[in-house]
């Protein structure tokens, strides 16, 4: 399954720049073929290539691109411990019951190898072990060249190419990278919990504008009313009235209470999103952001393959800090050398 995009890439990829072996087109084509047939190992390998920013990654993603666009990418974001993983499991179950295949990416850069994420994965692995329609993966990198958001979006694309109907991306909603991940989803759920004090206030900066749905999880705890009031108050203060006002849904992810309401709210969102040109416009906006990130990553990749190392940069930085080198001249020279 050689897509036109693969051809485009092969035309200019074998430049002098690529440090490792050239992308093997049979190899990439074979890998994509296998992951499209549902081979979980091929899928895992492909995501690893993307995650590690391997030399083959651009060719792989080009080949995947031809098979994407139909899945719904749903971001689930919120503070650590809010119940995102538990919620993601519940949603995955619901989608599976509706006979839709699911890929789940867990992005938790704050603690990739500790408690939460791993525990969550173990639970998932146990529950879904025998289900070929479900695939779960923790992202293990910050994405050195293109950033975490780009690495996650790329991995989501591989899952789409593997035929997943729904790609859930769980991310800790703190920090710019994480907001950026939320921005790249088709639909973004912002998860809040009662009793987290100024949580809602601190959301104002970033997540408020990307939220399509608010989930008040742990609604079995006291204070859900207050959180809801705060969200509503914030919405009424919003400078511009969007034509989709994010609904607020209460859930208890551990018992499954409220999940049906959440699914209904998501179905309404889906109807709104797919009416007219909204989804296409949203995705075009996403791609514009993503293209900038891809371009930056590609320039860095080329600079690296031209011999620019972290150590070089460090030496330049020291000289610049000491007033011994002109940074603008350096950047101009570096840019010239990779064009
Ligand atoms: N009481 C209560 N506990 C919950 C609820 N949802 C999740 N939890 C618990 O909260 C903890 C953190 O959940 P987790 O899904 O790992 O949160 P994440 O860090 O946002 O992914 C776990 O011990 C869950 O069992 C809920 O609705 N009510
Ligand atoms: Mg989690």
Name which residue sits closest to atom 12 of ligand 1, judged by CA. Answer: 81
CA dihedral 10, 12, 18, 23 (to 10 degrees): 0
Higher-pLDDT residue of 98, 11: 98
Residue with tokens 């910050």: 142
- What is the whole-number distance in angstroms between the Cα of residue 189 and the centre of ligand 2? 14
The C-alpha angle 292, 296, 298, rounded to 5 degrees, equals: 115
Res 287: pLDDT: 93
- The ligand that comes nearest to the alpha carbon of residue 83 is 1
> What is residue 189's three-state secondary structure?
strand
Atom of ligand 1 nearest to the CA of 217: 27
- The ligand that comes nearest to the alpha carbon of residue 191 is 1
Mean pLDDT of 83-91: 93
Listed in sequence order, the DSSP H helices in the chain are 4-12, 25-36, 40-51, 57-65, 84-97, 115-128, 147-161, 176-183, 199-203, 224-237, 259-274, 278-305, 310-321, 327-338
Residue 92, CB-side half-sphere exposure with 13 Å CA sphere: 29
Is residue 171 within 6 Å of ligand 1 at its C-beta? no
Least confidently predicted of 42-56, 63-77, 265-279: 42-56
Q: How far is CA 188 from the centre of its chain?
A: 11
Residue with tokens 């064009």: 339
Atom of ligand 1 nearest to the CA of 252: 27
Higher-pLDDT residue of 237, 100: 100
Least confidently predicted of 37-41, 157-161, 280-284, 335-339: 335-339
Least confidently predicted of 143-147, 294-298, 333-337: 143-147
Q: How far apart are the first and last CA of the chain?
A: 31
Name which residue sits closest to atom 9 of ligand 1, judged by CA. Answer: 83
- What is the whole-number distance in angstroms between the Cα of residue 271 and the centre of ligand 1? 29
Distances, alpha carbon 128 to alpha carbons 104, 123, 132, 133, 282, in Å: 12, 9, 8, 9, 32
Does 197 have pLDDT greater than 80?
no
Assigned token pair, 325? 């080198």
Residue 338: which pLDDT band, with cuts at 50, 70 and 90? confident
Is residue 82 within 6 Å of ligand 1 at its C-beta? yes
Provide the 10 A C-beta neighbour count for residue 36: 17
Listed in sequence order, the DSSP H helices in 1-39 are 4-12, 25-36
Query: Which residue, among 184, 169, 148, 186, has the nearest Cα to 78 in the 3D structure?
Result: 169
> What is residue 192's three-state secondary structure?
strand
- What is the whole-number distance in angstroms between the Cα of residue 158 and the centre of ligand 1? 28
Assigned token pair, 183? 């921005």
Provide the 10 A C-beta neighbour count for residue 253: 25
Is residue 85 within 6 Å of ligand 1 at its C-beta? yes
Residue 230: which pLDDT band, with cuts at 50, 70 and 90? confident
Mean pLDDT of 257-285: 95
Res 205: pLDDT: 61
Is residue 215 within 6 Å of ligand 1 at its C-beta? no
Is residue 262 within 6 Å of ligand 1 at its C-beta? no
Structural Rg of the chain based on CA atoms:
21
Query: Which residue, among 172, 149, 16, 14, has the nearest Cα to 85 in the 3D structure?
Result: 172
The C-alpha angle 178, 166, 190, rounded to 5 degrees, equals: 35
Residue among 79, 85, 86 whose CB has most ligand 1 atoms within 8 A, to mutate: 86
- The ligand that comes nearest to the alpha carbon of residue 224 is 1
Higher-pLDDT residue of 105, 203: 105
Is residue 17 within 6 Å of ligand 1 at its C-beta? no
pLDDT tens sequence across 88-98: 999 999 999 99
- Mean of per-residue pLDDT scores for the chain: 83
Is residue 86 within 6 Å of ligand 1 at its C-beta? yes
pLDDT tens sequence across 273-282: 999 899 999 9
């Amino acid at each position: 399954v050689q897509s036109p995009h693969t051809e485009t890439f092969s035309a200019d990829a074998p430049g002098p720049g690529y440090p490792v072996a050239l992308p093997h087109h049979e190899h990439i084509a074979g890998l994509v073929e296998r992951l499209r047939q549902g081979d979980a190992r091929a899928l895992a390998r492909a995501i690893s290539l993307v995650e590690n920013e391997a030399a083959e990654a651009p060719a792989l993603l080009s080949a995947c691109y031809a098979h994407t666009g139909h899945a719904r990418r749903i971001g689930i974001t919120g503070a650590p411990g809010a119940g995102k993983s538990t919620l993601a499991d519940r949603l995955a179950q619901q989608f599976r019951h509706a006979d839709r295949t699911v890929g789940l990416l867990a992005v938790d850069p704050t603690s990739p190898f500790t408690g939460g994420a791993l525990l969550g994965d173990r639970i998932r692995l146990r529950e879904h072990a025998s289900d070929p329609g479900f695939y779960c993966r923790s992202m293990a990198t910050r994405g050195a060249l293109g950033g975490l958001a780009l690495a996650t979006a790329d991995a989501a694309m591989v899952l789409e190419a593997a035929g997943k109907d729904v790609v859930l991306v769980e991310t800790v909603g703190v920090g710019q990278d994480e907001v950026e991940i939320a921005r790249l989803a088709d639909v973004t759920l912002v998860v809040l919990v009662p009793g987290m004090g100024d949580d809602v206030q601190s959301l104002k900066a970033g997540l408020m504008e990307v939220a399509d749905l608010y989930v008040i999880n742990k609604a079995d705890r006291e204070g859900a009313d207050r959180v809801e009031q705060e969200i509503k108050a914030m919405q009424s203060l919003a400078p511009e009235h969007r034509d989709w006002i994010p609904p607020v849904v209460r859930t208890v992810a551990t018992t499954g209470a409220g999940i049906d309401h959440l699914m209904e709210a998501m179905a309404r969102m889906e109807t709104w999103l797919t009416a007219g040109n909204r989804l296409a416009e949203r995705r075009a906006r996403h791609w514009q952001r993503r293209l900038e990130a891809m371009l930056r990553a590609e320039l860095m990749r080329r600079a690296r393959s031209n011999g620019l190392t972290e150590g070089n940069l460090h030496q330049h930085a020291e000289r610049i800090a000491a007033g011994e080198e002109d940074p603008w001249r350096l950047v101009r020279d570096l840019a010239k050398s990779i064009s």
